[in-house]
Structure 1
């Protein structure tokens, strides 16, 4: 059983994933800058049973990866646009495996671009190990299994969360600065941020409003389907008329690097967090369309989104630490299939008769 390093161990994601790993008696190293907070996190995790995890206090986790050569590194530190590629590069150089929770488009796409280097080094890199990427990717994989590539795919993520940390808000700022993105005829195309308002159908007959956002789900759905046209939407972005008008303006302002850096520093200093999304059920949705007009739909149902993400990340790290890996760069569903989502507690429902509302 390999050693798993948790970078950002004192944050909510780091603590939750570490608790999942501790329950399975994995060897964990909590990595962070604040020794006192690391000790508190280690004590809380040890209280669950088993030996207390080791702690590593450092301002330079990349240098520690180079010398320590851990079996697996789990990166929970956002914004992932700043941390994903450097940490993954350090893992490749050390021959370690890598896992992160990114769901912004740019870091997910960039991580997947490291596939040749990871193969050469014998490392496995997994990005998007959480609800956002896996939930929709699993549905697309199920809908397209054994079939030719569809011409059109739409995915929607509709998680409920009982609270998020400042790192998530910083990642939202980075994603907004990217602007709207869709795939048209297989080419990445600019779109207005917050466009493509959709009323996503749920199995109980209700509808959930979602709008297009530049998430890692866009890239994962493209790779899982081979479709020419792909749109990723989310309920986590405000869908009201005023908000949809304001989103492109906000995104344009945040594209100014000095503004974006200032906003991210203020988020960290004041410990600002996104609002919770109330509810008991997180949903994901995917629709596919083939030449000739055939359409299929699928839904994924899970509990609170952050808990699901923690289970997914812990399961991916566990499998990599236990040797269930192959070299390269992947999203979680591309590496382990849709059953990974089921193993994390999700239920998948397919319906080839219902029609997507456009």
Structure 2
């Protein structure tokens, strides 16, 4: 992913430096891209400071972000450069917002979750909230077409799904445990499991909605899901179980595409009114790389000091400019 973003940035006319932990891999990739490279361990502050000399924006693509983001975000603040990552881990978002005052004082911008998924979730939330008055609750269900994924993505997914779910309740981030629920999605009835996604944190921060819950769906039978998923999560093997492949529901065929990401979101208000929409989009490193590059370019043009969601930085309407993405209302 880092190489893809570096290639896009170079083609856009930016000066690019590859950075990472593995000197051997960096050297090979840098030769291929014809760019300089620097190496540092994200746990070594002095090494990070040297790596960030004369750098304007860092795009962190190395997951799990709970391991890499803390050190790099703080190094960016120390060195007065801006930070972007592709995280969807809620603890990375919480850490980023704990640094808001420090980032403002340093004139640095911190933008976690600038990959396609979180930006799409923010855009979908803004769309649905525009269809209902006085909403106070949002429920997000994420499904994925699966696919091989990069090692970093696999590690991030394993880390996310091995932990208890979490979300916003009455404006506070709380643990939701492993309890499964049942949801009627456009592609059919599915078991859903709470996950501690950065999506939920980003939506709450960007919209002010006090109650936000995020789930992942699976095609596993509900009875089996109650047995297999909690066990798999405890053993840290949840990524092998969830999310599963999605089977298209024929009655929804006109709404469904061969898209790889499906976000289902429902907003509700105290009287009981609801509004529901789905976002369908192509996933993969290409669209995620383009989204991250747009965030970095926005910071080069005008960087607001402090911590922001990617949607706040880019504007929710810009998601409609990404190829292969559309929203369907229900």
TM-score in same-fold range (> 0.5): yes
Q: Deviation of residue 123 (structure 1)?
A: 0.5
Q: Deviation of residue 64 (structure 1)?
A: 4.4
The answer to whether residue 46 in structure 2 is matched with residue 63 in structure 1 is: yes
Aligned to 1:289: 268
CA distance in structure 2 between the aligned counterparts of 1:69 and 1:241, rounded to whole angstroms: 56
- Per-residue CA deviation, residues 25-77 of structure 1 (Å, 9 max, x unaligned), is 211101134344223323433xxxxxx21112344674344231410111111
Higher alpha-carbon deviation: 341-350 or 116-125: 341-350
> How many residues get paired?
314
Match of 2:207 among 225, 229, 232: 225
Give the secondary structure class of the aligned counterpart of 2:229: helix
Equivalent runs, 1:1-358 vs 2, <5 Å: 13-45=1-33, 52-59=34-41, 62-67=45-50, 68-145=53-130, 149-193=134-178, 195-201=180-186, 210-235=192-217, 240-252=222-234, 280-321=259-300, 323-345=301-323, 347-349=325-327, 351=329, 354=330
Cα gap change, 1:328/1:346 in structure 2, threshold over 3 Å: closer, same or farther? farther
Cα gap change, 1:207/1:131 in structure 2, threshold over 3 Å: closer, same or farther? farther
Q: Deviation of residue 193 (structure 1)?
A: 2.0
Mind listing any 5+ residue stretches in structure 1 that lack a counterpart? 1-12, 46-51, 255-262, 264-271
- Per-residue CA deviation, residues 149-177 of structure 1 (Å, 9 max, x unaligned), is 41211112223354212222222232234
TM-score by length of 2: 0.83
Q: Deviation of residue 179 (structure 1)?
A: 0.8
CA distance in structure 2 between the aligned counterparts of 1:127 and 1:237, rounded to whole angstroms: 30
CA distance in structure 2 between the aligned counterparts of 1:19 and 1:185, rounded to whole angstroms: 43
Q: Deviation of residue 121 (structure 1)?
A: 0.8
Higher alpha-carbon deviation: 213-222 or 36-45: 36-45
CA distance in structure 1 between the aligned counterparts of 2:299 and 2:131, rounded to whole angstroms: 27
TM-score by length of 1: 0.77
RMSD: 3.0
The answer on whether the counterparts of 1:73 and 1:98 sit within 8 Å (CA) in structure 2 is yes
Cα gap change, 1:55/1:253 in structure 2, threshold over 3 Å: closer, same or farther? same
CA distance in structure 2 between the aligned counterparts of 1:90 and 1:57, rounded to whole angstroms: 14
Give the secondary structure class of the aligned counterpart of 1:197: strand
Give the secondary structure class of the aligned counterpart of 2:181: coil
CA distance in structure 1 between the aligned counterparts of 2:166 and 2:265, rounded to whole angstroms: 18
The answer on whether the counterparts of 1:161 and 1:304 sit within 8 Å (CA) in structure 2 is no
Give the secondary structure class of the aligned counterpart of 1:74: strand
CA distance in structure 2 between the aligned counterparts of 1:121 and 1:131, rounded to whole angstroms: 28
CA distance in structure 2 between the aligned counterparts of 1:276 and 1:164, rounded to whole angstroms: 14
Give the secondary structure class of the aligned counterpart of 1:235: strand
Mind listing any 5+ residue stretches in structure 2 that lack a counterpart? 247-257
- Per-residue CA deviation, residues 1-42 of structure 1 (Å, 9 max, x unaligned), is xxxxxxxxxxxx112222221221211101134344223323
Cα gap change, 1:319/1:227 in structure 2, threshold over 3 Å: closer, same or farther? closer
CA distance in structure 1 between the aligned counterparts of 2:178 and 2:152, rounded to whole angstroms: 21
Aligned to 1:268: none
The answer on whether the counterparts of 2:261 and 2:281 sit within 8 Å (CA) in structure 1 is yes
Cα gap change, 1:343/1:106 in structure 2, threshold over 3 Å: closer, same or farther? same
